[in-house]
Structure formats: structure tokens, C-alpha cells
Copies of this chain bind each other. A is one copy, B any other.
């Protein structure tokens, strides 16, 4: 096949910080604002499994100082035979946990056809690491106007990550939070290598808020 010409260095005018541009605030609710200086603690299960499970977890998150509940209703699984999530039912359980605790919820959307459904319930849409260059999906979440938690892919450079954010921003949605969650390297003593240096690089290059999800990077690959 013919060689694809290398793409020029990405130019991301909306994602990059202009001189003296202040930090962007991403407002999920009156009490949950990213970029305002306070760390926003989020917690919750990998997958929503039952009402009892999500209620118990939500209360534990709240008791531990968490301001936001996360939980997966659609799960991107390496294997087609793994549990793929409760889908619409999972959304309803998240909504129930929100009613019970008042915590806003963030949940992953995988498919551009589901953005409307998920947006109707979730307070924030999560783009998972495997979707970091799923451009049709990025455009749809951009159009949704919802706050977006954009997780870095396992193989994504900082520059590519900002270009993926640009896909959302250029749809008119500037409510994007970048989430460092570890990259794939040769080291296997942990599941992923948390790239703390990238957080510092991002704080300089972009006005968007940055959060860290240590769960994969602290996980044991045994």
C-alpha cells in the first residue's frame, strides 16, 4: 500500500493555552467544578451490577469525601465473552444512586449511537482509553454539549491527546477534563505506567483541567 504521508504536527488552537489564558472551569453541577483549584474526588465500581451494589458504593464514595460517582453501564471488554455492562438498566441504577446521595454521575459512552441516551441521564460523559481516537464518537460527545471526561489512551502521546480534545472543542463544547490513567510500556510489575510528567506538561500546554485515575496504574498485573 502507498505510504501515508506523515501528518504535520497537530495544531490545536482551541486546546492549547493562549498567552495569559486562565484555566477553563468545567462545571458538572453547582458543587462539582473542575479547574477551580480543589481536587474533585470521584469513585465507584468498574461496572454497575445491581441496585444494592451501586447504592452501597455511592454511599461509601460520599462517606469518603467523594464528590462524584462513576460506574460503567457500557463496558468495553477485550473479550466479547466478558460482561458487557447492564446498558440502559445500568443508567437507571446510576440515576437511582444519584437520587439517593445527590452525587452527580459520570459514565462511559462507547458508541456514537448511544450518546443521546447516555446524555439524557449522565452528568458527565466518559470517553474511555480505547476510544481516544474514535473520532465519530468524539464529534458526537462534542455536539452533546455535556461535560466530557477524556481518558488518555494506552498508546497516546500528549500531542495526540490534545488533538482528540480538539475534536470535542471544535464542535463548540469546551467542557473537557483530561484524565491521565497510565500508559503501556515494557514494565509489567503494574498494569500501566502512570505518567505523572504528562500532568505537568498538560498544565503548561492547555487550559483544560487535568485529573488522574490511579486505578489501572496501581493495579497488579499478576
Enumerate chain A interface residues (CB-CB to B < 8 A): 1-7, 10-12, 42-46, 57, 70, 76-82, 110-113, 130-131, 133-136, 153-155, 157-160, 163, 166-167, 170, 182-191, 193-198, 200-201, 213, 215-221
Q: Are A221 and B6 closer than 8 Å at their CB atoms?
A: yes
Q: How far is the CA of A29 from the CA of B134 in the complex (A)?
A: 30
Q: How far is the CA of A77 from the CA of B5 in the complex (A)?
A: 12
Interface of chain A: mostly helix, strand, loop or mixed: loop
What's the number of copies of this chain in the assembled complex?
4
Q: Are B187 and A1 closer than 8 Å at their CB atoms?
A: no
Q: How far is the CA of A130 from the CA of B133 in the complex (A)?
A: 6
Besides A1-B43, A1-B213, A157-B186, 20 new A-B residue pairs in contact (Cβ under 8 A), listed by A number: A2-B43, A2-B215, A4-B215, A10-B78, A80-B135, A81-B166, A81-B170, A111-B136, A112-B113, A130-B135, A131-B134, A157-B188, A158-B187, A159-B189, A186-B186, A189-B198, A189-B201, A190-B197, A190-B198, A200-B218
Q: Are A111 and B112 closer than 8 Å at their CB atoms?
A: yes
Centre residue among A1, A184, A186 by max chain B CB count within 10 A: A1
Among B82, B154, B155, B167, point to the contact of A80 (Cβ < 8 A): B167
Q: Are A77 and B135 closer than 8 Å at their CB atoms?
A: yes
